[in-house]
Structure 1
């Protein structure tokens, strides 16, 4: 629900009236006494716009001490600093520690960050790109292209036609784009001028946040599936059945992205409705595989059951995210 702030009209002099401005709006637009405000008369509405040029904010810098921290905790701190639009990230570490290569790898996976200085106990990385000029739409298209190829190639890991390492490296590229997209969107959400320059309203920014998240999750599932498939040895019938499920999933993904780009609600609605069919086909495959090999006491078959269950779990997760993209399209006006 939109909150309406009611203000009292005050008489000023003989022919003028004044209304106080919300402090939050003044601070949000970096305004001060004497700045100009544009006023547009639209009948029953007055539209106020901040009229001065955008002021360059001071670069944000943060120091992170890695001493005594687990590498995953340190990674979370570095990534969150990046997403919070820090321009310079300085990491301190013990000079007798071997953390530097791992820290550099984390930094290299964040688009725009370049290592500017490194000593025996400190690494300093600086952002070199202007996120105000980055197109969110281009980020989504690049994530889509990579993810689309990952879906097509992941099933090939079962027959050795594609390496799971190849899928893993592409997932890193998707993650890099996801972090960049999150940084761009957050910057636009807290800076109205940036949002306006990108031609985005709050709902569009929200929808694009959901889009990059869902594409990242689909890519993650393909990474896991490819890893499991590379460890699996299946009979010809099972390979054919699994391949049919993957073809269906790939077609659904292509259709939902087409519905997103074209804002085709009819196509999106069909993806929403058929999600249940894709889920059922996954469950039937798992049930058939279990019944076919239920009498086997081989340890390898038991291991295959576990791997198949994990593959089906990630295929169903992929289908859910495809459905969620369709829901994003259906919610757009």
Structure 2
């Protein structure tokens, strides 16, 4: 921990200088606005205010011709959860049909729009503005789908309704959409105090929401398993 002295400015104001490495880390310059908040323990939190246009995080993944679909899907999901807004996939030869199918499937689940596509190159972007979303609203929608899946899975089992069972199984992707989106937001706000404040969240809330998200997703998985079998 670094200590700094208070300096007097004018007749009554006291000021403190900010560490240069923190300034550089947040790409701040003279005239930028900072948010200041007094915590419950009387400590002071200082963080950059949310800017209208945040720098987009881009990443390029190089895909081997023999790489299996599950590996590709996991790589894309990992990039998405780590806050990348633009994900470019480049094949060392060409994308196989199973690879293309897996890429498009995970893109649909993650709300990613394919912006460019050819035999060797696919670029996907997320167009969702995290600063305008609501964790509670998304959790509520995710919960409603999971509840309907449980109800319909049991009805399909008791009535031997295969059509209803197929419908229940297909809804698991919708739950996964909300699950990954909520987890992305929670991971983002853990490194962005300004966004945390704008979404009216507390750090302890994020832990609870993460557990709740996983629990709802597990319930939906069990309902999908009943419907599948």
With normalisation by structure 1, the TM-score equals 0.58
Residue 126 of structure 1 aligns to a residue whose secondary structure is strand
Distance across 2 between alignment mates of 1:13 and 1:102: 61
Name the structure where helix makes up a greater proportion of residues.
1
- 1:7 to 2:3 alignment: yes
Is the CA contact 1:95–1:120 (under 8 Å) kept in the aligned structure 2? Answer: yes
- 1:57 to 2:54 alignment: yes
Is the CA contact 1:29–1:191 (under 8 Å) kept in the aligned structure 2? Answer: no
Distance across 1 between alignment mates of 2:124 and 2:37: 44
Is the CA contact 2:110–2:180 (under 8 Å) kept in the aligned structure 1? Answer: yes
> Could you tell me which residue of structure 2 aligns to residue 203 of structure 1?
204
What is the 5 A alignment of 1:28-43?
A: 30-32=27-29, 35=32
> Could you tell me which residue of structure 2 aligns to residue 178 of structure 1?
179
Alignment match of 1:70 (pick from 60, 68, 71):
68
What is the 5 A alignment of 1:224-303?
A: 224-228=225-229
Distance across 2 between alignment mates of 1:209 and 1:26: 31
- 1:129 to 2:124 alignment: no
Distance across 1 between alignment mates of 2:95 and 2:31: 56
Residue 208 of structure 1 aligns to a residue whose secondary structure is helix
Any stretches of 5+ residues in structure 1 without a counterpart?
229-333
Residue 171 of structure 2 aligns to a residue whose secondary structure is helix
With normalisation by structure 2, the TM-score equals 0.81
1:37-77 Cα shifts (integer Å, max 9, x gaps): 577899x9574545756263321111112213221111110
RMSD: 3.1
Deviation, 1:36, is 5.5
Deviation, 1:155, is 1.4
Residue 164 of structure 1 aligns to a residue whose secondary structure is helix
What is the 5 A alignment of 1:110-149?
A: 110-111=110-111, 113-149=112-148
Instruction: Describe the shift of the 1:183–1:27 C-alpha distance in structure 2 as closer, same or farther (beyond 3 A).
Output: farther
Deviation, 1:131, is 1.4
Deviation, 1:135, is 0.7
Larger relative contact order, structure 1 or 2 (CA cutoff 8 Å, min sep 6): 2
Residue 190 of structure 1 aligns to a residue whose secondary structure is coil
Larger radius of gyration: 1
Is the CA contact 1:12–1:18 (under 8 Å) kept in the aligned structure 2? Answer: yes
Aligned residues: 222
1:19-48 Cα shifts (integer Å, max 9, x gaps): 554678656755446656577899x95745
